[in-house]
Structure 1
């Protein structure tokens, strides 16, 4: 059976509405105009610190405010769960994969506490044998170290990585593992410009795609 590690935001769950909400609360506290949901999609992917940097630059807030605003955002992050939902077909696909004996993990740039919080809220945490967040190690994606760590905790077996972004594509490439690209998340560039083994736009056929890749390997 395979070891399958998933990115989280934009891959398994649509968390942008909640992140949009807390980002705008941070900006509102600074007396600044909020950002749009579309901008939120563009700002997600490289972790909370980069998100705050992009928020500051979008509203002309000084670099010296980075640490304070980051602390404000992170303090709100654990409770940012009410608007988040799994993408269609995700739960059925995870049920299928677990029933088939595959070992599943998470490797995300989201801080680990809100990662665990949202998965617990959605009753999805039981699917995963390991979870690695953007602050679990001194480095985060696209550095492949967290992905390697996730696979190591899952034991032996073929490796597959699933994500939605250019960051995930680079992480998979640098880790030297097959990358399955979910095209309906928060990617910022065309599919053809992202290195991937297979691309898919829904989770209905995802277990079959996994099986096909394992047979072909």
Structure 2
């Protein structure tokens, strides 16, 4: 039996609209300028703490200033609280639910490895009825390390107890994580990456989830 692990934001779900709403709610309480969607997408990938730090920097907060860490902690707490309950503008990418069902039917054990905090991850999975689809879920605060450190991805595959087959993600962070872990990478090209497709190391790429089962079977046959 083989295992496939997925990233979440920008891979299975388009959460940027809600993340922008959350960020601008936190900023608006302080009469600070809102983030654009372009800024929001560019800040996603390294976890909530990194996002809030980028959000602050975009509004003129000096990372080297004495009060930065204390302000960051306050804003992060507000951001995370909203992150666990805000799903109205988040959507699954087309074909995700059917593709996960097909892959499970083909015998793959499925897991999730994301830099999104664990509680927010579980909440959004429950919102979309996917909480029972993944036999292993590793969030951004499950370990001290976050992607692109390979430790979270290796933990996800260890939890699945099956041979590693591929990591599916959308970004530079995901590509670097897979490479560091020595896991084949499948690139979803419609997510939040900032670089050209060819700049990201990958075994296969796709822009339509209906193509993924066939790609995984071909990878399996070539192994």
Fold-level match, TM-score > 0.5?
yes
User: In structure 1, which of residues 78, 95, 106 is the aligned counterpart of residue 84 of structure 2?
Assistant: 78
Aligned to 2:151: 145
Partner of 1:90: 96
The CA distance in 1 between the partners of 2:61 and 2:27, in whole Å, is 10
How many residues are matched?
217
Q: Displacement of 1:80 after TM fit?
A: 1.6
Among 188, 200, 205, the alignment partner of 2:206 is 200
Give the corresponding residue for 1:45: 45
**In the alignment, is the contact (CA less than 8 A) between 1:105 and 1:130 conserved in 2?**
yes
Question: In structure 1, what is the Cα distance between the partners aligned to 2:20 and 2:38?
Answer: 9
| Alpha carbons 1:151, 1:159 under 8 Å: kept | no
**What is the distance in 1 between the residues matched to 2:96 and 2:80?**
27
- Return the alpha-carbon distance in structure 2 between the equivalents of residues 56 and 165 of structure 1: 22
Give TM-score scaled by structure 1 length: 0.98
Equivalence for 1:68: 74
1:168 maps to what in 2?
174
Correspondence for 1:186 among 166, 185, 192: 192
Alpha-carbon separation, structure 1, partners of 2:51 and 2:164: 33
Quote the Cα distance in structure 2 between the aligned partners of 1:80 and 1:132. 20
**1:83 shift after superposition:** 1.2
C-alpha separation in 2, matches of 1:191 and 1:130: 28
User: Aligned to 1:32, what secondary structure does the other structure show?
Assistant: coil
1:57 aligns with 57
Write the distance in 2 (CA, Å) between the matches of 1:184 and 1:5. Answer: 18
Q: Which stretch of structure 1 is more off in the superposition, 37-46 or 56-65?
A: 56-65
Q: Point out where structure 1 has 5 or more consecutive residues left out of the alignment.
A: none
1:158: Cα distance to partner? 3.6
- Residue in 2 that maps onto 1:105: 111
Report the CA distance between 1:29 and its aligned residue: 1.1
Matched residues in 2 for 1:101 and 1:199: separation? 21
CA distance in 2, matches of 1:8, 1:211: 22
Q: Indicate if the aligned counterparts of 2:114 and 2:139 stay in contact, CA closer than 8 A.
A: yes
Residues in 2 aligned to 1:13 and 1:207: alpha-carbon distance in whole angstroms? 18
Q: Is this contact kept in 1: 2:52–2:72, CA < 8 A?
A: yes
Superposition RMSD on alpha carbons, in Å? 0.9
What TM-score do the two structures reach when normalised by structure 2? 0.95
**What is the correspondence of 1:108-127 to structure 2 with a 5 Å cutoff?**
108-127=114-133
